């Protein structure tokens, strides 16, 4: 296989798809597939990535690709796993199930939880752009606190989404799976290594991918990688993996940049005053402190 600095030359998610300029989800998918390689089957939930990549009769996918509804992608992946197993063809095939944050954190979460509990083997990738973008930026369980969306609009009294972000990687880890990790398009090699580990893990493995959405975040379309880096450097999106129940940081942030630097590049936070920015800083600190408190310990039982 032709490789540049360890990155696969082949494109399985072809250029020419209709994603917006600077779409973090498209960058993540491209690199996930480069890492997974050609012996892969993709199951994808409805959402931006599906809509931009499969306008009939065209497709951007150079791999077997199956459409799923919002709520049943992990169930379809389970069926592919069981079917290949029954046919004696499971070995050497990667099954990649994918969905946005709406599909993964909210609507398809029950199916994901069920597939994990039944002990199926596939890798689930949650591409998190922090809202239901495809239908016009509605808030999800993954939307960052105080972000303005069309269903959590910033008004005079209520300043955007009032609830915290659902800690999905930790919830998945608590099921007892052997591999969970966070990935960012700004850290390609980290992402590549994690895809490879996830595909080799037992049971369902889970990757939580940070994905900038310039349209929904009101950020500049050339700032996807800059924002992805800032998210790590401010501790907004820590890079870690939970392998066999033990959390390890992949990029420890000892001297974090202020969260303000991250917020001010995005119009979805432009309504915030000093007090709210302080609150967000405390929220980010507290989430990071919690991860530090379980680092290196057998924090999760491994059942699969």
Ligand X SMILES: Cc1ncc(C[n+]2csc(CCOP(=O)(O)OP(=O)(O)O)c2C)c(N)n1
Q: Which of 40, 129, 184, 205 binds Mg ion (CB under 5 A)?
A: 129
Q: Which of residues 98-127 bind Mg ion (CB under 5 A)?
A: 100-101
Task: Give the chain's length.
Answer: 304
Q: Which is nearer to ligand X, 78 or 129 (CB)?
A: 129
C-alpha distances out from residue 276 to 159, 166, 223, 283, Å: 9, 19, 24, 10
Segment interacting with ligand X, rule: CB under 6 A, options 40-48, 59-67, 147-155, 268-276: 40-48
Q: Which of 40, 78, 134, 233 binds ligand X (CB under 6 A)?
A: 134
Q: Which of residues 138-157 bind ligand X (CB under 6 A)?
A: 140
Q: Which is nearer to Mg ion, 139 or 235 (CB)?
A: 139
Q: How many residues bind ligand X (CB under 6 A)?
A: 19
Reading the block at residue 8, the tokens are 């696969």
Q: Which of residues 42-71 bind ligand X (CB under 6 A)?
A: 46-49, 70-71
In the structure, how many helices (H) and strands (E) does the chain have? 11, 10
C-alpha distances out from residue 201 to 92, 211, 258, Å: 13, 24, 36
Q: What is the layout of strands, in order, in the sheet containing 246-249?
A: 65-68, 40-45, 94-100, 122-128, 204-210, 179-183, 240-243, 246-249
Which residue is listed with tokens 């065209």? 58
Q: Does 141 bind Mg ion (CB under 5 A)?
A: no
Q: Does 186 bind ligand X (CB under 6 A)?
A: no
Q: Which is nearer to Mg ion, 49 or 302 (CB)?
A: 49
Report the partner that residue 168 touches, choosing among ligand X, Mg ion, none (CB closer than 5 to 8 A by kind).
none
Q: Which of 22, 24, 74, 102 binds ligand X (CB under 6 A)?
A: 102
Report the partner that residue 293 touches, choosing among Mg ion, ligand X, none (CB closer than 5 to 8 A by kind).
none
Tell me the Cα Rg of the chain: 19
Smallest separation, CB 87 to ligand X (Å): 31
With CB atoms as reference, the residue minimizing the distance to ligand X is 100
The distance from CA 207 to its chain's CA centroid, rounded to whole angstroms, is 6
Q: Which is nearer to ligand X, 107 or 181 (CB)?
A: 107
Q: Does 217 bind ligand X (CB under 6 A)?
A: no
Which residue is listed with tokens 């059942």? 303
DSSP character string of 89-130? --TT-EEEEEEEHIIIIIITHHHHHHHHHTT--EEEEEEE-S
d(CA 137, CA 135) in angstroms, rounded, equals 6
Which spans of this chain sit near ligand X (rule: CB under 6 A)?
Answer: 25, 46-49, 70-71, 99-103, 107, 129, 132-135, 140
Which spans of this chain sit near Mg ion (rule: CB under 5 A)?
Answer: 100-101, 129, 133
């Amino acid at each position: 296989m032709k490789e540049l600095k360890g990155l696969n030359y082949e494109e399985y998610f072809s250029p020419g798809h209709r994603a917006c300029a600077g779409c973090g989800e498209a960058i993540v998918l491209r690199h996930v597939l480069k890492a997974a390689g050609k012996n892969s089957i993709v199951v994808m939930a409805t959402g931006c990535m599906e809509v931009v990549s499969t306008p009939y009769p065209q497709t951007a996918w150079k791999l077997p690709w199956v459409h799923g509804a919002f709520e049943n992608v992990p169930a379809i992946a389970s069926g592919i796993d069981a079917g290949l197993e029954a046919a004696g063809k499971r070995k050497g095939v990667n099954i990649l199930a994918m969905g946005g944050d709406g599909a993964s954190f909210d609507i398809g979460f029950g199916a994901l939880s069920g597939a994990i509990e039944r002990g199926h083997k596939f890798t689930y990738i949650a591409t998190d752009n922090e809202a239901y973008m495809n239908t016009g930026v509605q808030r999800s369980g993954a939307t960052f606190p105080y972000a303005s969306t069309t269903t959590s609009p910033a008004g005079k009294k209520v300043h955007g989404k009032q609830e915290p972000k659902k800690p999905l990687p930790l919830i998945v880890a608590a099921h007892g799976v052997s591999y969970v990790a966070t990935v960012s398009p700004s850290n390609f090699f980290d992402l590549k290594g994690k895809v490879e580990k996830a595909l080799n893990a037992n049971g369902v493995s889970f990757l939580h991918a940070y994905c900038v959405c310039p349209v929904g975040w009101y950020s500049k379309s050339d700032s996807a990688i800059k924002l992805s880096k800032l998210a790590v450097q401010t501790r907004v999106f820590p890079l870690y993996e939970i392998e066999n129940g033990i959390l390890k940081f992949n990029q420890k942030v000892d001297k974090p940049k202020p969260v303000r630097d991250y917020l001010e590049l995005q119009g979805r936070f432009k309504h915030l005053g000093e007090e709210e920015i302080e609150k967000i800083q405390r929220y980010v600190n507290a989430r990071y402190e919690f991860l530090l408190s379980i680092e290196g310990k057998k924090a999760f039982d491994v059942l699969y």
